[in-house]
Structure 1
Amino acid sequence: MVIYFYTRVFCVYVKATTLGYAKFVKPAFDDFVHPSKKYADVIIPRGGDNHVAIDLIVQHIHTKLGQHDLCKIYPNVYVIQSTFQIRGMHTLIRDKEISKHDFVFYSDRLIRLVVEHGLGHLPFTEKQIVTPTASLYTGVDFCKKLCGVSIVRSGESMENALRACCKGIKIGKILIHRDGDNGKQLIYEKLPKDISERHVLLLDPVLATGNSANQAIELLIQKGVPESHIIFLNLISAPEGIHCVSKRFPSLKIVTSEIDVALNEEFRVIPGLGEFGDRYFGTDD
């Protein structure tokens, strides 16, 4: 990452005269500093005096270092490549002042990216076809035995993106009581009868403590789904949740768009985005 501190103050000694500035400082800035601005990932106006911007950069670097370390510890954890578009969408959906319409719109865009990335981890078979130019093309055939399972209720926000990518896909439901029992009380489940023969995309936009996810994964395994056939898709993950799930199920894959800093004392993801289900479905206060 290149950070450009937009300031005309230099750490060199120049005699404090108008002539000295015009002869040395200004030309040096114009020739060597200002042209590098176009290569910057982030531009910080007012330089070192902009403490808010610098704190944000420090937080971002800490987050990226944490992602890198977790992906090295757990090779089954995949974070989609960050771009300005993805960072911009995260900025919007994390903003507490965003409208419900915009929250849903940009959440759906991010969810679609996560789903597409998750589908890329499914097995494939080589397939050869004939193009309209009568040429042979060697490509791949999609995995046919596939289904989705959403953890009710916020996981249901990811179903439309999955249906848009996989026409006619079957989607099951799991409802887990999150409070008072460490997220370990199963309330309801409705799954395809042949789920043991399918690869499963488990849907939940936020991975916090990992307790609910572990309960859902354990249920899928009890139904005969091999651990290695489960891909857990979410928008943001807390390091604690990744540790909890990956240690217990090392063969399962986790695909997320961003790993946040930590959980707070109330087990909420920080910086996080609040109660996703309430914000998405419009039931927040």
Structure 2
Amino acid sequence: MGSNSKPAEDLMGRSNGVHFSGLVSRDELDKNGHKEELPTTSAMENGHKELREPFVIGVGGGASSGKTTVCNMIIEQLRDQRVVLVNQESFYYGLSDEELTRVNEYNFDHPGAFDTEYLLTCMENLKHGKSVDMPNYDFKTYKNVLPPRKVNPSDVIILEGILVFHDPRVRDLMSMKIFVDTDADVRLSRRIKRDTNEKDRDIKTVLDQYSKFVKPAFEDFILPTKKYADIIIPRGGDNHVAIDLIVQHIRTKLGQHDLCKIYPNLYVIQSTFQIRGMHTIIRDAKTTTHDFIFYADRLIRLVVEHGLGILPFKEKQVITPTGAVYTGVDFSKRLCGISVIRSGESMENALRACCKGIKIGKILIHRSEGDNGQQLIYHNLPKDISNRHVLLLDPILGTGNTAVQAINLLLKKGVQESNIIFLNLISAPQGVHVVCKKFPRIKIVTSEIELGLNDEYRVIPGMGEFGDRYFGTDEC
């Protein structure tokens, strides 16, 4: 990238037509604003197998939009994972003898054409590690035929169909939702080719069914579900670049998914192509200091906002300028930030921008050969810190040794473990294990989970010495 910032701008502007929806904040507060108690370390370890549910991907869109092609391309690239494909078409109701006499009048694109209750049963069983007998629907006889398809539990479940986003109960099972968006003329031409070749239908029957059922159902039932998608792919299987990027995104989410299932006190902000783009820029060794600071600040702000979103709150009503009553929330005022010098100081401006007048303390931990490579040197903390919620700031969680030292100091000063929120940009799995096992009630908020640590205990792929790059003291 060098001194020219154009590549950075181009990266943020290009997404190959793929759209990711905005951030989703998930907190641990119940509807009354109370904090839920986190399980102990032993409880998490004992419940490890129960928590490791499969990653469920929903793929929706109009008939002949390219959903199956997209699914097959994803499965091919995820060949190192155990992946199973579940087709919503398998759950069509079999037609009665009376319905068969007027099959051309039957609307196969209506939500009522599917046995959604049995689909839910099968998906729930797969999520809980149970094998299922999937219906085997024959489109020539319009009935389920024997034998059923045996489907075993897998690491990844892809649920594909025109109306997989229609029922909220089905949507709630999904970890990721993809909508395949293809031009109507392209979908019609594909449908004519498919139905005449594979389903022995004549062109007139296909066109009559399209105009009477398929097109209205798309507008009434399928298109409205597009708003629920996390990702929208234009041109379906023809968009190879978009699918490659989505597979990378899925791989990232799979790693985060496993850790988040093990540790419910770990919060990873939902990744988008904007966030991946910012990570690409600040991880690039050629990025200028100016660009590094700009995009690092954007990411830090997102992490800080997410951290603030899991603070306890109480209901509050206000009167708007129109004289109406608005019922909202009021967050805890007893808050302070603690930065781990020096990299953590880079996160202070974002915190001040979000929390006017917030108190910020500092901790300096020197890396040495002994004491697990850590030695507390200096600290300057608010005197009333024991009565506050603490946002601990350090952009990189590596081995976890520095974090443990800092958290131990806060606990000695009377801060409740459940009142500490540790904010960082990237986290190595090793560091997450160390911190979450030793402090099961602390919350960690991060933007990405890394691959791990190298032989020198540096985060991989990482972003180098964050403090040097941010403050411009990197000799390179």
Q: CA deviation at 1:225?
A: 0.1
TM (norm. structure 1) is: 0.82
- 1:171 maps to 2:360: yes
- What per-residue deviation string (whole Å, max 9, x for no partner) do you get for residues 113-167 of structure 1? 0000000011111111111111111111121000000000000000000000000
Unaligned runs of 5+ in 2: 1-56, 58-69, 74-185, 191-231
Q: Which residue of 2 aligns with 1:87?
A: 276
Q: Which residue of 2 aligns with 1:143?
A: 332
Distance 2:369 2:468 in 1: 20
Distance 2:238 2:407 in 1: 40
Larger Rg: 2
- What per-residue deviation string (whole Å, max 9, x for no partner) do you get for residues 243-268 of structure 1? 00000000000000000111111111
Moved more, 230-239 or 173-182: 173-182
SS at match of 1:69: helix
Q: Which residue of 2 aligns with 1:188?
A: 378
Q: Which residue of 2 aligns with 1:134?
A: 323
Shift of the 245–43 alpha-carbon distance from structure 1 to 2, 3 Å rule, reads farther
- What per-residue deviation string (whole Å, max 9, x for no partner) do you get for residues 50-109 of structure 1? xxx97x877654432111000000000000011111011001001111110000000000
Match of 1:222 among 412, 419, 436: 412
SS at match of 1:140: strand
Q: Which residue of 2 aligns with 1:209?
A: 399
Is this contact kept in 2: 1:183–1:215, CA < 8 A?
Answer: no
- 1:269 maps to 2:465: no
Shift of the 173–183 alpha-carbon distance from structure 1 to 2, 3 Å rule, reads farther
Distance 1:4 1:106 in 2: 35
Q: CA deviation at 1:40?
A: 5.9
Q: Which residue of 2 aligns with 1:250?
A: 440
Distance 1:167 1:160 in 2: 11
Match of 2:429 among 212, 231, 239: 239
Q: CA deviation at 1:270?
A: 0.7
Q: CA deviation at 1:42?
A: 11
Is this contact kept in 2: 1:63–1:261, CA < 8 A?
Answer: no
TM (norm. structure 2) is: 0.50
Letter in 1 for 2:461: P
Distance 1:81 1:247 in 2: 23
Shift of the 242–40 alpha-carbon distance from structure 1 to 2, 3 Å rule, reads farther
Written as runs of structure 1 = structure 2, the 5 A alignment for 1:40-189 is 43-44=239-240, 61-181=250-370, 182-189=372-379
Instruction: Indicate the percent of aligned positions where both proteins have the same amino acid.
Output: 71
Distance 1:142 1:126 in 2: 9
Letter in 1 for 2:349: N
SS at match of 1:225: coil
Shift of the 31–236 alpha-carbon distance from structure 1 to 2, 3 Å rule, reads farther
Shift of the 179–43 alpha-carbon distance from structure 1 to 2, 3 Å rule, reads farther
- 1:280 maps to 2:470: yes
Match of 2:388 among 198, 215, 222: 198
Match of 1:38 among 234, 244, 260: 234
Is this contact kept in 2: 1:4–1:42, CA < 8 A?
Answer: no
SS at match of 1:115: helix
Moved more, 59-68 or 198-207: 59-68
Distance 1:114 1:57 in 2: 22
Q: Once superposed, what is the RMSD of the aligned Cα atoms?
A: 2.7
Distance 2:415 2:335 in 1: 11
What number of residue pairs does the alignment pair up?
Answer: 255
Moved more, 62-71 or 202-211: 62-71
Is this contact kept in 2: 1:227–1:251, CA < 8 A?
Answer: yes
Letter in 2 for 1:213: A
Unaligned runs of 5+ in 1: 6-27, 48-52
